[in-house]
Structure 1
Amino acid sequence: MTKFLISIVGPTAIGKTALSIKLAQHFNTEIISADSRQFFKEMHIGTAAPTKDELGTAKHHFIHHKSINDNYNVGAFEKDALQCLETLFKTKDVVIMVGGSGLYVDAVTKGLDDFPEVDSQIRETLNTDLETKGLPYLQEQLKTLDLESYNTMAIDNPHRVIRALEICIGTGNPYSSFLNKDKLKRNFKIMTIGLTADRPIIYNRINQRVDVMMQAGLLKEVETLLPHQHLNALNTVGYKELFHYLNGEWELDFAISEIKKNTRRFAKRQLTWFKKNDTILWFDYLADTATIIESIEYKIP
């Protein structure tokens, strides 16, 4: 019998978690998280990870299974997720995957792209540039060398920016030119469901979510992580802005406004990434779950 992976994508704060749980309950199956920030057990509130109650309604995989001190990347996730799917498909015909990290979603559904080896000195130089000149300097360099990557990748993530730049510099070709080549076929079928809304609605939901996070204790969570602020896992929206406040560099109101602004920018990049996939079946975020299930079952024999 054919096995199906139902992947749920869309911008942050659009309702992916709630839909994934409803689908998992309907198909009596389990959920794989492809949200790269929710892997880390020290980060709860700022990553909008599923609550204890939500985790109890359906079995989840790859939620808080790593520490911020662990070196965990998309390649390791691809391997782990495929092994998990192989196990789940022994007893399940359908598995749900949910997450807004486009690269991690694509790693499972399409496979990672193959990049040539480049001189390790290039990365060392870029890391030095990051420390001495800052991330904006590297972002501008990427904008010059590979505008497509600059417009679509998470440019607030220094690891991603440096990875793209080392390929651009080491090969003389844009990082984006190595993307989407032929990859290994998956032995399961993939159906991708996208949730979306008009841009003002998405932005308003993001602003409201940030306010809820602050009320839930995000500042206290970030304060406990202050000694580890240098770690790559914590150089992310919702945490880095509050580090600036805790370090006495910003006012709290300004830090919160920056979280909202940077999250809105992140949502815009998510939409740009997912819109490249013309196989996604898009639904309004208010769509009735029964309608979505009907559309899925129409395509699953």
Structure 2
Amino acid sequence: MMNKYLISIVGPTAIGKTALSIKLAQYFNTEIISADSRQFFKEMQIGTAAPTPTELAAANHHFIHHKSIKDNYNVGAFEKDAIETLDSLFKKHNVVIMVGGSGLYVDAVTKGLDNFPKVDASIRDSLNKQLETKGLIHLQEQLKELDIDSYNSIAIDNPHRIIRALEICIGSGKPYSSFLNKEKSKRKFNTISIGLTADRALIYNRINRRVDIMMEEGLLNEVTQLKEYHHLNALNTVGYKEIFNYLDGKWTLDFAISEIKKNSRRFAKRQLTWFKKNKDTHWFEYDINIESITSTITSIIK
């Protein structure tokens, strides 16, 4: 299958990855798999900027709204499902498109996941209780003491990532970072990574405008309907947690919206940092003509 190609489209949120993925799927007469971990959940549509019905109809998509927020779905399960789907798709197509801003999920498909030891489930339960009673800073300080490399490299404002790193540190007696970047499973396909970018000020303006559009499309109502599930990990994400604070009477709506914009900008910055680590990515300005991108891809394939 080494004559098969996965075109992976990466870049910060609101840069135009969905639109490009559809154009490339139509150009190569192929299908799209999503590596956006927030768009997996059918209850989260507006706040995740999931493809519209029109966009979904323009090309066959996989891994969009195929799970519920109540499902326990993680990157390991996604890697297995995505590889099985690609095996099937490559029987029909020489090229498949993958799109998504979740760097870990993109890497899971293109490179494979790091192998971690199994640890007792009680460790995670204990850490979750510490999060509730002592707060995130307490867990951050633990990680700083046990694994300074992970503390300096992972998204330390993400409780899920902090707890994952800590449970490995505690359960194995070794730093989480010591298990990273080891030999992984070889893929049976080639990956061509295409990145979209723009001047930072323009990216931030696009993000701010997208948040305004989400509010106009009914984000407040979408989050209100999910309020009873606010404790679920899937909803501990930008666009939802801020409005939960408004619904709980902690913030004004205007302040919650401003926090969504701020946190989305921070997320975009982290995305770019993650994706820039891949030196093989071919970067293009967000508004470049599609012919320049297809020309680059076809020249690589040939």
RMSD: 1.5
Cα 1:129–1:276, aligned 2, differ >3 Å: closer, same or farther?
A: same
Cα 1:90–1:46, aligned 2, differ >3 Å: closer, same or farther?
A: same
Q: Aligned partners of 1:227 and 1:124: how far apart in 2? A: 21
Aligned to 1:74: 75
Aligned to 1:17: 18
**Regions of 4+ moved over 4 Å:** none
Q: Deviations over 1:84-138 (max 9, x none)?
A: 1011111100000000001110110011101123344432221111110122332
Aligned to 1:211: 212
Cα 1:150–1:293, aligned 2, differ >3 Å: closer, same or farther?
A: farther
Aligned to 1:160: 161
Matches within 5 A, 1:32-43: 32-43=33-44
Cα 1:216–1:151, aligned 2, differ >3 Å: closer, same or farther?
A: farther
Q: Aligned partners of 2:12 and 2:296: how far apart in 1? A: 21
Would you say 1:27 and 2:28 are equivalent positions?
Answer: yes
Q: Give the C-alpha shift of residue 268 in structure 1.
A: 1.2
User: What SS does structure 2 have at the residue aligned with 1:238?
Assistant: coil
Aligned to 2:92: 91
Q: Deviations over 1:211-230 (max 9, x none)?
A: 11111110011011111111
Q: Aligned partners of 2:215 and 2:189: how far apart in 1? A: 41
Matches within 5 A, 1:112-123: 112-123=113-124
Please report the TM-score for the alignment, with normalisation by the length of structure 2. Answer: 0.95
Q: Give the C-alpha shift of residue 146 in structure 1.
A: 3.7
Aligned to 1:7: 8
Please report the TM-score for the alignment, with normalisation by the length of structure 1. Answer: 0.95
- Does the CA-based 8 Å contact 1:154-1:266 persist in structure 2? no
Aligned to 2:109: 108
Q: Give the C-alpha shift of residue 180 in structure 1.
A: 1.6
Matches within 5 A, 1:189-268: 189-268=190-269
Q: Aligned partners of 1:187 and 1:259: how far apart in 2? A: 40
Q: Deviations over 1:27-61 (max 9, x none)?
A: 00000000000000000000000001000100000
Cα 1:276–1:146, aligned 2, differ >3 Å: closer, same or farther?
A: farther
Q: Which amino acid aligns with 1:260?
A: K
Cα 1:146–1:201, aligned 2, differ >3 Å: closer, same or farther?
A: farther
- Does the CA-based 8 Å contact 1:30-1:96 persist in structure 2? yes
- Does the CA-based 8 Å contact 1:146-1:175 persist in structure 2? yes
Q: Aligned partners of 2:251 and 2:162: how far apart in 1? A: 25
Cα 1:35–1:152, aligned 2, differ >3 Å: closer, same or farther?
A: farther
Q: Aligned partners of 2:184 and 2:166: how far apart in 1? A: 23
Gaps of 5+ in 1: none
Aligned to 2:53: 52
When the two structures are aligned, how many residues end up with a matched partner? 301
Q: Aligned partners of 1:271 and 1:244: how far apart in 2? A: 28
Would you say 1:131 and 2:132 are equivalent positions?
Answer: yes
Cα 1:152–1:227, aligned 2, differ >3 Å: closer, same or farther?
A: same
Q: Which amino acid aligns with 1:3?
A: K
User: What SS does structure 1 have at the residue aligned with 2:47?
Assistant: helix
User: What SS does structure 2 have at the residue aligned with 1:77?
Assistant: helix
Q: Aligned partners of 2:130 and 2:121: how far apart in 1? A: 15
Q: Which amino acid aligns with 1:255?
A: A
Q: Give the C-alpha shift of residue 147 in structure 1.
A: 4.5
- Does the CA-based 8 Å contact 1:153-1:269 persist in structure 2? no
